[in-house]
Amino acid sequence: GAVVSQHPSRVICKSGTSVKIECRSLDFQATTMFWYRQFPKQSLMLMATSNEGSKATYEQGVEKDKFLINHASLTLSTLTVTSAHPEDSSFYICSARSTSPGYIQYFGAGTRLSVL
Amino acid sequence: QKEVEQNSGPLSVPEGAIASLNCTYSDRGSQSFFWYRQYSGKSPELIMSIYSNGDKEDGRFTAQLNKASQYVSLLIRDSQPSDSATYLCAVRGAGSYQLTFGKGTKLSVIP
């Protein structure tokens, strides 16, 4: 299957700092990428849909000024958690949608964010 | 609102048995259906995709789709302890970019 690379895999930061997470589709172009958040023992929660060259579409309740998304190219989307607080600690997972028939979504390995 | 329903489990099966995972969806116009496996602390990985009614087999896995009943299932033959994970059913509606995920069924294969 297609490969989606997500970095970093784990980050620990102090409250008030910003953290950038990168998501790259390595062997296919992804005009659409998705960012999810998952708390322990809970299901995936879609945060936003990222389209190359345009503004991201955020789900209800997700603060766009706190979770900045930039989809600068067909293979790269970034999520920046600004002024992180302990309640932002979670597992963040990106997903890239293939443009091949079937339009399968492939997931990155996820980033575990811990805010102290 | 589009919904995807799964039994949360846990579903426990002995090693070597067939595990049957079920999923129903509310959007009758849904076109694409996926099963993902998620190990604890890891991200989801694609197991199967299915787009038309009937069965689709890949190794020990068989996906079954019945659009009339709005039902999709995943069978795992000769279950192994390494199959122990949470299985997520995902559905994409017609003309939609997004997948709607079920909450997942936790499968435990007992050695």
Which residue type does B101 have? F
Task: Output the pLDDT for position B67.
Answer: 96
- Whether chain A has a CB inside 8 Å of the CB on B74: the answer is no
CA distance A54 to B6: 34
User: What value does the mean pLDDT take over residues B25-42?
Assistant: 94
B19 band by pLDDT with thresholds 50, 70 and 90: very high
User: What value does the mean pLDDT take over residues B4-23?
Assistant: 95
**Which member of A6, A91, A104 has the closest CB to residue B49?**
A104
**Which member of B32, B43, B88 has the closest CB to residue A103?**
B32
**Which member of B46, B97, B101 has the closest CB to residue A97?**
B97
Q: At residue B11, does pLDDT exceed 90?
A: yes
Instruction: Give chain B positions within 8 Å (CB) of A108.
Output: 43
Is B103's CB within 8 Å of A105's CB?
Answer: no
CA distance A93 to B101: 14
